[in-house]
């Protein structure tokens, strides 16, 4: 989800994340090492992460590992705390509802507040690599704008519609200590945890002690 370069293309102030997706994702992934996924109950998932303040080689290696881990788990988005790292950064490799692929990385993301006329709710199913095998309907706005920084520390904005909007909101939530099941009713949350308990993860996970 190639590093954002300092001269990254912008469109109306927004990052162009739809070009050369295959090549950029492959470059990240092939440099990285896949790590196991943390699951609900792991403390790193249930607190706000630290801001990214150093935009150097260590962050670049983390981003590479995140893309590798995301591909192993067959996800469309991954936050750093999902591989046990307490930093505000997420990657994504996600299609929108028009079938357009988006690939990128956001550090220190903040969701913009939407005007009332932009808050059209979509109650599609949602899942999470940190709640493996579980899905539940969750209303979220079908449009999202995230402000943050790229891997070099430059300010960026990312926007998405439909499924990609859901991804941007979901991953930003992670970095502030929220899982999607935290936004469900008690009954639906219990059902999601039951689904998880009854299944077997298809990718390596970190067991909770």
Tens of pLDDT, residue by residue over 21-74, are: 999 999 999 999 999 999 999 999 999 999 999 999 999 999 999 999 999 999
Tell me whether strands 37-38 and 155-161 are parallel, antiparallel or unpaired. Answer: unpaired
pLDDT of residue 11: 66
Q: What is the CATH number of the domain that holds 118?
A: 3.90.45.10
Report the pLDDT averaged over residues 8-18. Answer: 77
Cα 26 from chain centre = 18
Q: How far apart are CA 16 and CA 40, in angstroms?
A: 33
Q: 132: which residues sit within 8 A by CB, 6+ positions away?
A: 37, 39, 196, 199, 201, 202, 203, 205
pLDDT of residue 1: 29
Tell me, yes or no, whether 58 lies in a domain.
yes
Contact 78, 35 (CB under 8 A): no
- pLDDT over 90 for what percent of the chain? 90
Active site residues: 171
Tell me, yes or no, whether 205 lies in a domain.
no
pLDDT band of 91, cuts 50, 70, 90: very high
pLDDT of residue 7: 40
Tell me, yes or no, whether 5 lies in a domain.
no
Report the pLDDT averaged over residues 181-203. Answer: 97
Q: How far apart are CA 153 and CA 181, in angstroms?
A: 31
Q: How far apart are CA 169 and CA 186, in angstroms?
A: 21
What residue numbers bound the domain in which 153 lies? 10-199
Tell me, yes or no, whether 71 lies in a domain.
yes
Report the pLDDT averaged over residues 146-164. Answer: 97
Tell me, yes or no, whether 67 lies in a domain.
yes
Looking at every residue in the chain, the average pLDDT score rounds to 94
pLDDT band of 13, cuts 50, 70, 90: confident
Tell me, yes or no, whether 4 lies in a domain.
no
pLDDT of residue 3: 29
pLDDT of residue 209: 76
Q: 103 or 117, which is more confident?
A: 103
Tell me, yes or no, whether 120 lies in a domain.
yes
What's the Cα-to-Cα distance from 133 to each of 2, 41, 51, 110, 130, rounded to whole Å? Answer: 30, 15, 30, 28, 9
Tell me, yes or no, whether 63 lies in a domain.
yes
Number of domain units in the chain: 1
Contact 104, 17 (CB under 8 A): yes
Report the pLDDT averaged over residues 150-171. Answer: 97
Cα-Cα end-to-end distance for the chain:
29
pLDDT band of 9, cuts 50, 70, 90: low
Annotated binding site for Fe cation: 128, 170, 174
**Is the model's pLDDT at 4 over the cut of 70?**
no
Helix (H, G, I), strand (E, B) or coil at 103: strand
Annotated binding site: 128, 170, 174
């Amino acid at each position: 989800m190639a590093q954002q370069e300092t001269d990254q293309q912008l469109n109306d102030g927004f990052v162009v994340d739809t070009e050369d997706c295959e090549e950029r994702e492959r470059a990240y992934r092939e440099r990285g090492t896949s790590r196991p996924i943390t699951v609900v109950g792991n403390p790193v998932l249930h607190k706000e992460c630290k801001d990214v303040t150093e935009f150097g080689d260590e962050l670049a290696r983390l981003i590479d590992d995140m893309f590798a881990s995301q591909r192993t788990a067959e996800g469309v988005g991954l936050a750093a705390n999902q591989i046990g790292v307490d930093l505000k950064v997420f990657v994504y490799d996600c299609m929108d509802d028009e079938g357009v692929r988006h690939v990128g990385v956001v550090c220190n993301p903040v969701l913009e507040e939407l005007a009332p006329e932009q808050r059209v709710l979509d109650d599609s199913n949602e899942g999470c690599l940190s709640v493996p095998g579980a899905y539940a309907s969750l209303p979220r706005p079908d449009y999202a704008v995230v402000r943050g920084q790229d891997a070099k520390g430059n300010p960026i904005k990312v926007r998405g519609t439909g499924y990609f909007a859901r991804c941007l909101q979901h991953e930003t939530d992670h970095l502030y200590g929220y899982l999607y099941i935290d936004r469900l009713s008690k009954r639906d949350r219990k059902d999601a945890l039951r689904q998880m308990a009854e299944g077997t993860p298809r990718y390596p996970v970190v067991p909770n002690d």
